[in-house]
């Protein structure tokens, strides 16, 4: 007879009979069929290297506690963070945009809003990401090229001109200089008379994954984590609806990591941030409800769904059991999803529409809270308006025409999906235990442990693509002869740097030099005392006309810069 906590799959006698039936089936029907027609290969694995059985039955999930699957909106939130999910409101359709100056990207925002987009997401150029002003020698040739250039509050004003920040949630995809952009966003909202507690959106700010994967960092690890801590504590007190960090597995995946690396390493980073904030005396329930996450949805359809269900369950257990959370909101993992840019190809680029649609479908079946679908031309350049409209329409077709929004977690109870969800949970906690045993996340970043895992899996993936073991349509199979594709790509406006630099220099010329110098001195004092929160002085500096570079270069003199030990 089943224990009351077990998944209701029948009595032990029934399960024994089922297992015997599977063995008989393998020995008879399967063996006879393989003699006539061999299977494609000796072993089958997911994209993340989990072995895949020929079929799954009730016996594969017989030991799964009912409480681990549960119901949507109930701990451990395997089936979704909210009880009604898309029956109440669809996921936020948050197509990312960012190029040129604030005015240039504002036009793209306005276009996407007119097409039915329900949230804004902002990409920044490399100088902004790395804390350089647009007229710095390191910025030459990069201003506004891979994202929008933001040096001062005036740029932020241009970026969101005519956009109601109380009605539109705004995501700012930036990391080492994220707190400065948050300060600009706050000052802009205050100048417009908004209530900060009504603002919604997020800064990415997740600096630890930069040291692991994306390599966009400025300062050493300790002050960088301190900045993340300060963003979280400041927003918990002053911006109740705002997400002060978006803990990101996406970039771990894009750096070559496996799906299990993506979610397990992300949760390892989460643990560091929560520990740092609780050291200030703030209880986990005072801030955890506004932690948010960012994951990729790749091409292995069922694995991706299981991965995302598992990470919700693991997060809930970590917050409750490790950090003592009592409020269900503190255990509710909410995540933005993006389809896999690394899966996009230049050959036969139209096929990218199909890839993206299937990845987006998996993300919504897994219960994402917001979603970006990649443009079919992103393997070439920043997506064009036409490509972004197609990406948005892809989401709208899923939301409005497929009826998948009518039922919550429709794949819940699938023998395969539940078994894979369990496998992911088991492996995630094994990795986290290993990280703890080896000295913790920060030590292992400094040792290159995470980086080696990512590099090894990335190398193995390249070999599989080269050999054809990992099929990529148009690249290593179903090839087409012919010239390079004829495709219109987003152009780079050569006047961008001149326009941007002119505004930055105007702001410098118009600010009060005495007040500005006094505020920089105060910034130095705050930076030297890591018990103080760096956000208030940053807000005052931005209001006084400080540039991104003014703040970053001042702090480099105190904290220094980070240099990674190479990993071979």
Does the CA dihedral 76-77-81-83 come out positive or negative? negative
| Residue 540 to residue 534: CA distance in whole angstroms | 11
What pLDDT sits at residue 398?
98
Where do the domains of the chain lie, and which CATH numbers do they carry?
Answer: 1-72 (no CATH), 73-467 (3.20.20.240)
The tokens for 88 are 């109440």
How many helices, marked H, and strands, marked E, lie in the chain? 22, 10
Q: Judging by beta carbons within 10 Å of its beta carbon (0-12, 13-18, 19+), is residue 485 exposed, middle or buried?
A: middle
- Contact, 114 vs 120, CB < 8 A? no
Which strands make up the sheet holding 291-297, listed edge to edge?
92-93, 370-372, 335-339, 291-297, 245-248
| Residue 391 to residue 32: CA distance in whole angstroms | 46
Which strands make up the sheet holding 170-173, listed edge to edge?
96-97, 120-123, 170-173, 201-203, 242-243
Conformational region of residue 75, where left means phi above 0, alpha means psi within -120 to 50, and beta covers everything else: beta
Q: Judging by beta carbons within 10 Å of its beta carbon (0-12, 13-18, 19+), is residue 464 exposed, middle or buried?
A: middle
What pLDDT sits at residue 278?
98
What pLDDT sits at residue 125?
97
Give pLDDT < 70 ranges for the chain.
1-10, 483, 568
- Contact, 279 vs 238, CB < 8 A? no
For the chain, the farthest-separated pair of C-alpha atoms sits apart, in whole angstroms, at 87
The answer, as to whether pTM is greater than 0.85, is: yes
- Phi first, then psi, for residue 122 (nearest 5°) are -120, 125
Classify 495 as helix, strand or coil. Answer: coil
The closest alpha carbon to 292, from 86, 116, 81, belongs to 81
Q: What ranges in 338-448 are assigned the alpha helix state H? A: 351-365, 385-401, 415-437, 441-447
- Phi first, then psi, for residue 92 (nearest 5°) are -75, 125
Task: Tell me which residue has tokens 């894979």.
Answer: 420
What pLDDT sits at residue 40?
84
The closest alpha carbon to 368, from 318, 294, 422, belongs to 294
What pLDDT sits at residue 66?
93
- b/e map of 534-566 (b: 16 or more CB within 10 Å)? bbebbbbbbbbbbbbbbbbebbeeebeebeeee
Q: Judging by beta carbons within 10 Å of its beta carbon (0-12, 13-18, 19+), is residue 286 exposed, middle or buried?
A: middle
Q: What is the dihedral of CA 51, 54, 55, 56, to 10 degrees?
A: -30
- b/e map of 350-382 (b: 16 or more CB within 10 Å)? ebbbebbbbbbbbbbbbbbbbbbbbbbbbbbbb
- Contact, 196 vs 228, CB < 8 A? no
The tokens for 429 are 């906690």
What pLDDT sits at residue 557?
98
- Contact, 172 vs 530, CB < 8 A? no
């Amino acid at each position: 007879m089943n224990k009351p906590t077990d998944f209701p799959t029948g009595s032990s006698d029934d399960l024994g009979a089922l297992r015997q039936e599977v063995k008989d089936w393998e020995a008879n029907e399967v063996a006879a069929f393989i003699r006539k027609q061999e299977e494609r290969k000796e072993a089958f694995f997911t994209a993340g290297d989990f072995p895949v059985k020929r079929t799954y039955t009730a016996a594969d999930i017989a030991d799964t506690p009912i409480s681990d699957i549960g119901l949507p909106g109930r701990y451990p939130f395997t089936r979704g963070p909210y009880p009604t999910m898309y029956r109440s409101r669809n996921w936020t359709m948050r197509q990312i945009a960012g190029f040129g100056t604030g005015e240039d990207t504002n036009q793209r925002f306005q276009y996407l809003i007119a097409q039915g987009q329900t949230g804004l997401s902002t990409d920044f150029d490399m100088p902004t990401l790395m804390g350089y002003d647009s007229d710095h020698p390191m910025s030459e040739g990069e201003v506004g090229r891979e994202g929008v250039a933001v040096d001062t509050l005036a740029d932020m004003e241009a970026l969101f001109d005519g956009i109601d920040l109380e009605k539109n949630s705004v995501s700012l995809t930036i990391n080492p200089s994220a707190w400065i952009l948050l300060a600009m966003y706050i000052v802009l909202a205050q100048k417009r008379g908004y209530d900060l507690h009504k603002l919604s959106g997020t800064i990415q700010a997740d600096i630890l994954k930069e040291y692991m994967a994306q390599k966009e960092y400025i300062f050493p690890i300790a002050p960088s984590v301190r900045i993340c801590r300060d963003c979280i504590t400041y927003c918990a007190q002053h911006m109740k609806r705002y997400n002060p960090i978006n803990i990101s597995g996406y970039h771990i995946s894009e750096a070559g990591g496996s799906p299990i690396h993506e979610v397990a390493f992300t949760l390892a980073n989460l643990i560091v941030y929560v520990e740092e904030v609780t050291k200030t005396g703030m209880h986990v329930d005072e801030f955890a409800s506004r932690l948010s996450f960012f994951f990729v949805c790749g091409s292995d359809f069922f694995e991706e769904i299981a991965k995302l269900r598992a990470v919700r369950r693991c997060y809930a257990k970590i917050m409750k059991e490790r950090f003592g959370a009592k409020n269900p909101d503190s255990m509710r993992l909410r995540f933005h999803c993006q389809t896999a840019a690394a899966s996009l190809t230049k050959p036969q680029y139209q096929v990218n529409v199909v890839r993206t649609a299937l990845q987006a479908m998996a993300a919504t079946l897994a219960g994402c809270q917001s979603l970006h679908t990649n443009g079919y031309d992103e393997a070439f350049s920043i997506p064009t308006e036409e490509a972004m409209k197609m990406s948005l329409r892809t989401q709208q077709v899923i939301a409005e025409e497929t009826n998948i929004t009518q039922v919550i977690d429709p794949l819940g109870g699938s023998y395969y999906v539940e078994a894979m969800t369990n496998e992911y949970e088991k492996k995630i906690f094994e990795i986290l235990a290993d990280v703890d045993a080896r000295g913790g996340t920060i030590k292992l970043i400094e040792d290159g442990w995470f980086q080696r895992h990512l590099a090894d899996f990335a190398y193995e993936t390249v070999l599989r693509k080269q050999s054809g073991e990992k099929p990529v349509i148009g690249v290593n199979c179903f090839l087409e002869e012919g010239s390079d594709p004829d495709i219109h790509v987003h152009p780079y406006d050569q006047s961008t740097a001149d326009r941007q630099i002119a505004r930055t220099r105007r702001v410098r010329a118009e600010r009060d030099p005495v007040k500005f110098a006094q505020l920089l001195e105060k910034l130095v004092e705050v930076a030297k005392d890591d018990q103080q929160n760096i956000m208030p002085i940053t807000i005052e500096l931005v209001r006084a006309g400080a540039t991104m570079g003014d703040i970053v270069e001042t702090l480099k003199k105190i904290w220094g810069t980070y240099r990674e030990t190479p990993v071979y």
